[in-house]
């Protein structure tokens, strides 16, 4: 196994359990616009917001833009902090940092929200770069985000880079960017999903993730 020195972390479902806030804001938006709730609403947790409204709710591009505006109006004030840090995350990040690893964030959540969340939960201190989507909807796909964050961090050699996330989008994005991916089972994805999309490593707990990265 490679020695990983640069670690790209997803946020939702990887560092924090953000489902309560995401789902409450999603439901608020659908009620406001008169759309029915999709089956298995947990599917909206993880993918880019623009994609979720289009794919799971059948909205056209104009409706998607309005839905995102309504969603974010509630999320910025309330949904943002309907959220909690997973057990073991601060300890994992501390161990990785103390062992000389470089930690970065690559999330499809708007960057301004990601910064506020990480600062609120006192996790921002661990990360050299906090990279997220642009509020206007650009830089929305995971591969774009990974490239954006690696560029900001000045990373050119990808042999020791590892993407750490909890959904297929993290795996797909990592592969497009020629970096390996660790999939975490404490988030919103499943072992079946991770196997289907070819995760390089699958872990059950934050401590297991730290052990594998520190002692490859």
**What is the predicted pLDDT for the residue at 140?**
78
Indicate the angle between helix axes 19-33 and 61-75, nearest 10 degrees: 130
- For residue 161, what is the enclosing H or E element? strand 161-165
Query: Are 137 and 144 spatial neighbours (Cβ–Cβ below 8 Å)?
Result: no
| DSSP codes joined into one string, 86-132 | PTTHHHHHHHHHHTT-EEEEEEEEEHHHHHHHHHHTT-GGG-SEEEE
Closest CA relative to residue 10, chosen from 131, 120, 105, 122: 105
- Ranges in the chain annotated CATH 1.10.150.240: 19-81
- pTM here? 0.90
Give the angle subtended at the CA of 198 by the CAs of 168 and 192, to the nearest 5°: 65
- Ranges in the chain annotated CATH 3.40.50.1000: 6-17+83-214
Query: Are 57 and 71 spatial neighbours (Cβ–Cβ below 8 Å)?
Result: no
**What is the predicted pLDDT for the residue at 39?**
87
**What is the predicted pLDDT for the residue at 135?**
82
Q: How far apart are CA 180 and CA 146, in angstroms?
A: 12
Helix, strand, coil fractions of the chain, as percent rounded to 5 = 50, 15, 35
The contacts of residue 147 (CB under 8 Å, 6+ apart) are 177
Query: Are 140 and 148 spatial neighbours (Cβ–Cβ below 8 Å)?
Result: no
**What is the predicted pLDDT for the residue at 45?**
87
Bridge partners of 201, per DSSP, are: 182
pLDDT values of the chain reduced to their tens digit, one per residue, 216 residues = 569 999 999 999 999 999 999 999 999 999 999 999 998 899 898 788 899 999 999 999 999 999 999 999 999 989 999 999 999 999 999 999 999 999 999 999 999 999 999 999 999 999 999 999 988 767 878 999 999 999 999 999 999 999 999 999 999 999 999 999 999 999 999 999 999 999 999 999 999 999 999 998
**What is the predicted pLDDT for the residue at 139?**
83
- Does the domain at residues 19-81 carry the CATH identifier 3.40.50.11030? no
Q: How far apart are CA 196 and CA 81, in angstroms?
A: 32
Q: How far apart are CA 30 and CA 163, in angstroms?
A: 32
What are the catalytic residues?
10
* CATH number, domain 6-17+83-214: 3.40.50.1000
């Amino acid at each position: 196994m490679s020695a990983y020195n640069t670690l790209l972390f997803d946020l939702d479902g990887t560092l924090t359990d953000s489902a309560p806030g995401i789902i409450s804001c999603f439901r608020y938006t659908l009620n406001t616009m008169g759309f029915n709730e999709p089956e298995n609403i947990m599917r909206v947790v993880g993918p880019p917001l623009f994609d979720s409204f289009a794919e799971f709710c059948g909205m056209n591009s104009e409706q998607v833009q309005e839905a995102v505006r309504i969603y974010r109006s509630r999320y910025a004030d309330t949904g943002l902090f309907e959220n909690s840090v997973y057990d073991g995350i601060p300890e994992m990040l501390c161990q990785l940092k103390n062992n000389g690893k470089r930690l970065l964030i690559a999330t499809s959540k708007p960057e301004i929200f990601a910064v506020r969340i990480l600062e609120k939960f006192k996790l921002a201190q661990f990360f050299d770069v906090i990279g997220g989507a642009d509020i206007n909807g650009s830089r929305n796909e995971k591969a774009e985000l990974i490239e954006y964050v690696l560029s900001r961090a000045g990373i050119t050699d990808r042999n020791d880079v590892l993407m750490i996330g909890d959904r297929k989008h993290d795996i797909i994005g990592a592969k497009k960017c020629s970096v390996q991916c660790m999939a975490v089972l404490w988030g919103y994805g499943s072992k079946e999903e991770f196997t289907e999309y070819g995760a390089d490593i699958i872990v059950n707990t934050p401590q297991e993730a730290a052990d594998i990265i520190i002692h490859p």
